[in-house]
Each structure stands twice: as structure tokens, then as C-alpha cells.
Structure 1
Amino acid sequence: MMIRTYKAWKGSNIFLFGGRFIFGPDARSIFFSIFLIVAPVVVFCVFVARKLMDDFPNNWGISIMVVAVVITFLDIVFLLITSGRDPGIIPRNSQPPEPESYEGSIEMLPGQTPPLRLPRTKELIINGIQVKIKYCDTCMLYRPPRCSHCSICNNCVQKFDHHCPWVGQCIGQRNYRFFFMFIFCATLICIYVHGFCWVYVKRIMDSEDISIWKALIKTPASIALIIYTFVCVWFVGGLTVFHSYLISTNQSTYENFRYRYERGTNPYDKGVLSNFKEVFLSSIPPSKNNFRAKVPKEAVIAPRSLGGSFAASNRGKPMGDIEMGGKPAWDNEGNFNNGYENAELPDVSPDLSRILPPESTEERNVLNNNNIKRSSWGRRSSSWEMSPEIVSLAARIGESKRVVDGNNSNLADDAQHSQSDSKL
């Protein structure tokens, strides 16, 4: 069965319009961000810009409102582009890369294969500088240079900068320039609205010949906008300045916060002018993922069976699943408990050496020899078969147990007869 890639996607992303748009798991924050942008602009146009239209000749006053609307529109467009496109996700591997052989001395028995391992890091040379890349256990790949795994979206992102909760998406190689334009336009809106609010206050002061405090009282909308834009400009304006510095030095927020190049040379720094050209004038690499492509649906892996029956009765959960907290054990009544409630006894014979004590040294030696051979039974056949030694041993133990039980019952009968005779 074939399904779309976005339906089988293992990340935490949200897809819209048949996989044409990809968002982060916190995509609902976009609506809040849009509200924070649009609401003050609407208040500005209604209570400030509309009253300043008559103060400029040749109908130039309407341009105050037009400019505010245009910048706001561009800011929302950059927000949606940043949030709705692939930030540079690296596709996952279906299986881990081939491991390297074990390097070192280890004592191995005849017939054993040496243990294999995957190096946690590898070293690359970039512009003459040694750079380490790490192995990602989730995506089962060695991350390319400047790539990092986002714990929120659960993806490895090329040139990962950070995960922005205001746009609900990772910021990476393919949407970084749009993110910068988004915060830059937001900074322009704050400065623009803040400035024209003071212009309107000045107009009231000159027309009515009153003080600045009385003029502010006459326009409460201007007071609210002045305070709001003053607070916001420190946030978005500070981000704009900070990311301008990162672009000029060709760093990411992730690298800067980890002091990646504090003591060494940045192998990606090409100079201020070339760094800005790389971000704003270079071509954006195509996405490595085709979310609308059809891929075969992964088949559900059935639990392994032993002797024609499932190894566990709870639909494929292994006995004693450590991840789920279950611990296999034998209870006081001799029943097997695999760590889950209402679990049934599996059709797997328990190890007799663990529940029946050996009667003699010969029997103990037989049990020990069969414990060594026990691991090879499952490889020789699909069902578990007991060797003749174990069958005969179980028979002797069962017979001795019956003899003991018979003696105990005879003693009990004699005690009852003697008690009845004493009563008579």
C-alpha cells in the first residue's frame, strides 16, 4: 500500500494542504503572533493615522496609513513563509550506517564475532580547519556540518539556528532569511507607529495650545500604542541587531550560545560583505524531502513466535518490557508474571533448573550441561524441545515427589486412625 510521505513522517510536524506546507508542533502560536502585529496597526489606522490625513497637502496624509498597512502585510507574509516551509530537514535513514569493527583488545571465545560499534563523532576538514560531526541516534545518520537535532520538531535541521516559538518552526538554512525579514519588518512597524503617535500628540498640543500631559489624556489610544511599541521594539529590535551580528560573523544562534568559535577560528566566516551575500543573495538550496511523494506503508512487525505461539500475550509486547516497567517473575503460587496485569502464561517451557532443586550431584551436572546447550535449541528449530536427560530427570523428580506425597498421606491416615482409636 502506497501513502504520501507526510502521512508516514516520523517527526512532530503538522502538514497542511496535502503536505504542501510543513509547520512545527506549536504552529498555533502563529495566530497569536499575527494578532500581536495586526491589532496595534488597526488601532493606529483608526485612531491616529485617519486623523493625520488632513494635515498633509495633496492627499499625502493617506500615505501614512498605506505605509503602515504595507509593512504589516509584508511582515505577515514573511511570518507565514518562515513557518510554513521546510527549514532544511535532513531525511532520516531507514537503517543505521555500517558499523566499524571494534578497535582494542578483548578476549573472545572461539566462534564469536567481534563486537561492532558506531563512532559517536567523526572529523572533517573544512577550509583547513578540523570540524567534528556527531551521530544522531534518532535519525540514524551522521549530521552534516552545522546541522543539529531539534528536540521539539524531532528532526535534524541543516544550519540549525534555533526553534522559534513565535513562528512555531525551526529556523534553519532554508528559512533563515525570511525569519530575519520578519523580525526586521516588525521592528520597522514598532518604530513607525511609535513615531507617528508622537506626531499626533504634537498636533494636539499645537492646535489646542496645551501641555504634553493634557494632550496625552485626550488621545488614550496613542498612550497605549506608545507604551506597546516601546516595549516591543526592545524585543524585536534587539533580535534584529543580534542576528545582524550573527550574519556578519557567519554564526548561528546555536553556535553562538555554545561558544563554538570563541577560542578557535570560524571556518565559515568569509568576511562581512560575503557573509551578508550568502544569506540574502545566494540561492536557497532545494528541499531534501518530497512530502507529497508516495512511499510504501511500513508493515507492522509481528511479535516473534516460539513453538507456534506468541512469546507474550499482550499483542507483541515482549515479556518483561523494560521500557514499560514490566519485570518477569514467578509469583508465590508458581505462576509466571511478565509484568502486566491479566497476563496469560506463555507457551514457553520455563527453565527447570530455576524452579526444581537438583536431587543429587549427577542431576545437578546434567542440569548444568543442558543450561549450556539451552541457548542453541532455539537456533536449531522453531519449537523448544527438551532433551531426553531433562525428561528422565523430570520423571525421577516427579516420582520422588509422588513417593514423598504418598508417605505424607499414609502418615496422615495413621494419625487419624490413632486419634479415632483414642476416642473410642
Structure 2
Amino acid sequence: MMAEGEQKPKRLYQVWRGSNRFFCAGRLIFGPDVSSLILTIVLVGGPALAFCIKVLHTINVIEKNGKDSHYWYIVLLVAALLTCLDILFLLLTSSRDPGIIPRNTKPPESEEAFDMNTPSMEWINDKTPHLRLPKTKEVIVNGHSVNVKYCDTCMLYRAPRASHCSICNNCVQKFDHHCPWVGQCIGLRNYRYFYMFISTSTILCLFVFGFSWVHIAQNKEGVLKAMQKDILSDILIVYCFITIWFVGGLTVFHFYLICTNQTTYENFRYRYDKKENPYHKGIRRNLVEVFISKIPPSLNNFRAFVCEDENMVIEATGTDHVRTSKEKIDIEMGNKFSESNGISLPEILQNLHYDEWEGNSKSKEGIIDFDTHPSPFVFEPEKRYEEIIAHETETVHQV
């Protein structure tokens, strides 16, 4: 029996802070717009089903006339197989982890500490522009320098090629784009299935388009009269003609991206127009990487039991508000420090008057109690900054 007041342990998918939707007890993960998947299945399966019905009708007519219908049985089988494969690749794309990077529960420690052998003080309760986690870090990829960005929501430095999806609210490895037609991000772990889905859709459209014309052409009364009578074939021809431009264009475009080892996100930002692509390995190796190499395992075990307290909602933390124990301002550096870094000290430090510092505040281990004592800060804009620095330094030495 569970003790009274004790919470039942939860699985990771139950406390997940992204916008994803889970099914089958966390075994399947979809995007928040999973309902669009139903529309896509209808758009793929509906015309394919109508075509199969048309082929069955053709087979019945041929057999009534005592002719051989084996040819159309093959057409029916291929159409059904392409349709099933297309929907299978669609579901594989939509229902798996695209490469979500687990969030941090707290910001990483800043790697930039000011190591100065001079009196210094902790800056408390305000923004200090140069005391924050840098927005970007430089890493080396295949001998090329690449900047990776800090994610305010996930509180981590993204891996190269990773990006944060605003729809799913997750950072995704090798982020390509968020596809509304499959209701899921396209990333490292499902890009292969996505390409198979759009390429199979293209083949299916061409197949239905071609044999719909065959249905019309085999009518001995002529094409125009046949089109007037065979309305279903007319609709399939128009539908497939429009769809081919869309899915066919996507197939060709993504094949180009695969051969050049780019993502849609990178291509739209023109990242490699004026510099070498550090990820390009040659066409053959690029194709092997996408279609033959082993898909890496998920970084998340959504069915694992977790402590809910460790996975509570953490508000997006901007880099302007991130503080660590290493963040210190050295007053004796004065303007030289700020000018050398291209950053000015906060205005409040430039206008401090310390005459009442010792009388109006108490400090313990370098921490000032502002709740029980009046503020020691008196603004004197006319006082020169150099005099303030000299006075503060003298005060610190006396303490």
C-alpha cells in the first residue's frame, strides 16, 4: 500500500515539458499538431483507394469480356503496396523521437571567470551586461570553426546543427524543419523516413497519374468522350498533377540537400554560400550517412520513471538573467576593464557614493543585507568616475 500523501511515481513522458503528445504509454511521440496527420493520411489514402476501386472495376469489365486481366492485377498490387509503404513511412516519420535533446534543470556554469588578484565584489540584484552566459560558443567541426547558440528555454548550448523548434518547444539534433503535414519535427532520427515518405508519395502520384490516362486512352470512343464519361479518372489526373509538383519538388530539393549534406534550415539561411560546408563528405558518403548508417538511439527514455521534482517546469531563462558564483566585477579595473571588453559598467556603479557605506549596511561574508538597512546608494551624477573608483578602493582596503 502506498503511504497517504505519497505521490505515485511518474514516467518521463507524463512530466515532459515540451509540447509533444504521447500515445501508447509513451511509446509513440508526436508533435502538438498531430491532428494534421489524419488529413495527410486522407490525402494519400483517399485517391489511392479510389484508384484501386477503379482498377477493380476495370478487371471486372475485362473478365466479363473474356479477356486476360493479369496485367491489371499487377497494377492493383503495385498501387496497394505503394500506398501501404507511403502511409508506413508517414507514421514512422511522425511517431518517433526526431532527436530531442534533454533539457537542463539549471543553467550551465559560466566558463568565463574573471581571475583578478585585486579587491572585488559580487554584483547583486541587477543586470550586468558582461556577466552572463555568452549567447554563442565556438567549437571546431572537421577543422572548421562553428558557433553554437545558447538556448534560453532548454538552458544548454545546442550541439552543432541543432536548433529549437518553437512549435514542439524542444531542441532537436540536426534540425531540418517542422513539417505540418506529418505533425512532427524533422531531425536526425526521422529524416530518412521523411525522405522515403515524400519520394514514395511522388512515385505513387506518378503511378496513379499514368494509369488514369491508360484508363481513358483504352476507350475506343476517343479521349474527349472517355474523359466525359470517366469522371473518377479525370479527378485523379488533376489531383495527381497538382500533387506531383509539390511532393516531387520536395523530393528533388531534399535529394540535393542530402547530396550536399545540408539541412533545410541551413539552406534557407544561406550559410554555405560564402564559406565551405564543414559537414560535406562527398556525395557518396553523404548518401550513405542518410540511407545506410545506423540511426542513433534516442537521448530520452520517455517510459523511465522520474522524480517529478527534478522535472518541474522551468521558465525560459534569458542570458541576461543567468548568474553564477564566478561572476564578479572588479571595481579597480574601472573603465579600462569595460572599454577593453567593449562594455560599459552599469550606471548605478558609475554614480555610487560610499560615505555612508559602513554606517548604513552590514556585511557578512561579502553579502550585504538590504532588507533591514537603508540603501547606501546616493546618486551624484556630477562626480567624476575616477574619484568614485579611488574612493571605493580605499573603502575596500579599510574593510
**Residue aligning to 2:122:** 112
Corresponding residue to 1:77 among 88, 94, 102: 88
**2: CA distance between counterparts of 1:177 and 1:190?**
20
Task: For 2:245, give the aligned amino acid.
Answer: W
Distance 1:289-1:386 versus aligned 2 partners, 3 A rule: closer
**Residue aligning to 1:150:** 165
Corresponding residue to 2:245 among 231, 234, 244: 234
| Structure 1 residue 240: Cα displacement | 0.4
**Residue aligning to 1:267:** 278
**Residue aligning to 2:41:** 34
Give the alignment's TM-score, normalised by structure 1: 0.68
**2: CA distance between counterparts of 1:250 and 1:233?**
25
Corresponding residue to 2:216 among 186, 201, 205: 201
**Residue aligning to 1:419:** none
Give the alignment's TM-score, normalised by structure 2: 0.72
Corresponding residue to 1:283 among 286, 291, 294: 294
Could you say what secondary structure the match of 1:170 adopts?
Answer: strand
CA offsets per residue over residues 295-328 of structure 1, 9 Å max, x none? 1112899xxxxxxxxxxxxxxxxxxxxxxxxxxx
Corresponding residue to 1:89 among 87, 100, 121: 100
**1: CA distance between counterparts of 2:275 and 2:48?**
46
For the 8 Å contact 1:135–1:141, the answer to whether it is kept is: yes
Out of 221-230 and 55-64, give the one that drifted further: 55-64
Corresponding residue to 1:65 among 40, 62, 76: 76
**1: CA distance between counterparts of 2:359 and 2:244?**
74
| Structure 1 residue 58: Cα displacement | 6.4
**2: CA distance between counterparts of 1:134 and 1:22?**
26
- Is 1:21 the counterpart of 2:31? The answer is no
**Residue aligning to 2:151:** 136
**2: CA distance between counterparts of 1:386 and 1:125?**
51
Distance 1:369-1:256 versus aligned 2 partners, 3 A rule: closer
Out of 49-58 and 126-135, give the one that drifted further: 49-58
Could you say what secondary structure the match of 1:201 adopts?
Answer: helix
Root mean square deviation of aligned Cα: 2.9
Q: Which has the higher helix share?
A: 1
**2: CA distance between counterparts of 1:66 and 1:156?**
41
For 1:184-199, list aligned pairs within 5 A.
184-199=199-214
**Residue aligning to 1:410:** none
| Structure 1 residue 292: Cα displacement | 0.5
Task: For 1:226, give the aligned amino acid.
Answer: I
**2: CA distance between counterparts of 1:380 and 1:130?**
43
| Structure 1 residue 284: Cα displacement | 0.2
| Structure 1 residue 170: Cα displacement | 0.1
For the 8 Å contact 1:48–1:197, the answer to whether it is kept is: no
| Structure 1 residue 30: Cα displacement | 0.4
**2: CA distance between counterparts of 1:300 and 1:274?**
40
Task: For 1:118, give the aligned amino acid.
Answer: L
| Structure 1 residue 67: Cα displacement | 1.0
For the 8 Å contact 1:50–1:65, the answer to whether it is kept is: no
For the 8 Å contact 1:147–1:158, the answer to whether it is kept is: yes
- Is 1:177 the counterpart of 2:162? The answer is no
- Is 1:293 the counterpart of 2:308? The answer is no
**1: CA distance between counterparts of 2:255 and 2:262?**
10
Could you say what secondary structure the match of 2:218 adopts?
Answer: helix
**1: CA distance between counterparts of 2:267 and 2:311?**
43
Task: For 2:14, give the aligned amino acid.
Answer: K
**Residue aligning to 1:165:** 180
Gaps of 5+ in 2: 1-6, 313-355, 375-399
CA offsets per residue over residues 224-253 of structure 1, 9 Å max, x none? 110000000000010000001000101000
Higher relative contact order (CA 8 A, sep 6+): 2
**1: CA distance between counterparts of 2:105 and 2:25?**
23
For the 8 Å contact 1:52–1:200, the answer to whether it is kept is: no
Task: For 1:232, give the aligned amino acid.
Answer: T
* Paired residues, number: 312
**Residue aligning to 1:253:** 264
For the 8 Å contact 1:6–1:291, the answer to whether it is kept is: yes
| Structure 1 residue 102: Cα displacement | 5.6
Percentage of pairs with the same residue:
52
For the 8 Å contact 1:148–1:158, the answer to whether it is kept is: yes
Distance 1:14-1:104 versus aligned 2 partners, 3 A rule: same
Could you say what secondary structure the match of 1:100 adopts?
Answer: coil
For 1:391-410, list aligned pairs within 5 A.
none
For the 8 Å contact 2:105–2:311, the answer to whether it is kept is: no
**2: CA distance between counterparts of 1:386 and 1:137?**
35
For the 8 Å contact 1:99–1:116, the answer to whether it is kept is: no
For the 8 Å contact 1:201–1:216, the answer to whether it is kept is: yes
For the 8 Å contact 1:102–1:117, the answer to whether it is kept is: no
Could you say what secondary structure the match of 2:309 adopts?
Answer: coil
| Structure 1 residue 386: Cα displacement | 8.7
Task: For 1:11, give the aligned amino acid.
Answer: G
